[in-house]
Amino acid sequence: MRCIAVMNQKGGVGKTTSSVNLAAGLARAGKTVCLIDLDPQGHASLHLGVEAFGQTATIYDVFAGKKGLGDVLQLAIERLWVAPADINLAATELELVDSRDREIVLRQALQKLPSTQTFDYVIMDCPPSLGVLTVNALTAATEVFIPLQPHFFALQGLSKLFETTALVKRRLNRELRVAGIVLCLYETGTRLAADITDDLSRFLEQSDPMAPWKHARIFKSRIRRNIKLAEAPSFGQSIFDYAPKSSGAIDYEELVTEVIAAEAIKAAA
């Protein structure tokens, strides 16, 4: 099982869009996928038409110790289950402040999944912050994907993300590594996008060999700016169902192919 945390503390960079469409694309490719929505806004859940209202069990109930992870999962599309979120999740930061095991709640929940609920991939859509929910995702994950808009200020925030992964790796999860960077809202043909990509490549090449991001790859797939990606959530559909012939669907399909290929390469090694 590959556990992937999709994280960036900056909003509006394509984090939730990438989480949802990566999960949906993997499911379309025949993989069994669990998407865990860790953002109190619940946008990943809503993107797939999963609404948490009334007595609906959510990922908050898992953090509160009221439910197991398997009890809150909902089937969104074939082979894709969602652990939905709602605004109650915002209280987790305060409620877990005195808990001794507050950083490993999610990891323990995944370990307690029954044998009848096994997944090829677990995708965790992190909130746009570096609080206890994101730390839980990093502690449970083996890989981190960072969606990044190729702008100068995006690179400035990347160092903080890397510091956080290094801290979690050192203290809580020795298996954690930054596996890939997804360039989103990409504007082909612009000098800025190409320059930022080159700067990022040089930074990764010159990194400390022991850093968890040293072997991170910049995915060849570029997620181009596409209005269909912005429209799809309002219809409760992934890009593959909403606009299967759009550039957004093509770009995310290529990303899915890269992610699965990396799995095959690792297995062969």
pLDDT band at 266 (very low <50, low <70, confident <90, very high): low
Average pLDDT, integer, range 2-26? 93
Candidate ranges 7-11, 89-93, 194-198, 264-268; pick with highest mean pLDDT: 89-93
Q: Which of 13-27, 85-99, 114-128, 204-218 has the lowest mean pLDDT?
A: 204-218
Q: According to the model, what pLDDT value does residue 198 have? A: 84
pLDDT of 265 over the 80 cut: no
Is residue 159 pLDDT above 90, yes or no?
Answer: no
Of 9-13, 131-135, 234-238, 253-257, the poorest mean pLDDT is in 9-13
The more confident residue out of 80 and 158 is 80
* pLDDT (average), residues 210-220: 82
pLDDT of residue 209: 73
Among 19-28, 151-160, 168-177, 208-217, the range with the most confident prediction by mean pLDDT is: 19-28
Q: What is the pLDDT, as a whole number, of residue 267?
A: 55
Mean pLDDT calculated for residue range 255-260: 96
User: Nearest Cα to 9, choosing from 132, 128, 145?
Assistant: 128
Judged against a pLDDT cut of 70, whether residue 146 lies above it is answered with: yes
pLDDT reported for residue 216: 83
Over residues 26-39, mean pLDDT: 97
Q: Which domains does the chain have, with CATH numbers?
A: 2-268 (3.40.50.300)
Structure confidence at residue 264 (pLDDT): 62
Q: What is the mean pLDDT of residues 18-23?
A: 97
- Average pLDDT for residues 161-169, to the nearest whole number? 89
Average pLDDT over residues 230-235: 95
Mean pLDDT score, 104-133: 92
Dihedral sign (CA 185, 186, 190, 191): positive
Task: Give residue for tokens 């203290």.
Answer: 171
pLDDT of residue 117: 86
Report the amino acid identity of residue 142. Answer: T
**Mean pLDDT computed over 47-62:** 89
State if pTM tops 0.75: yes
Supply the pLDDT for residue 89: 92
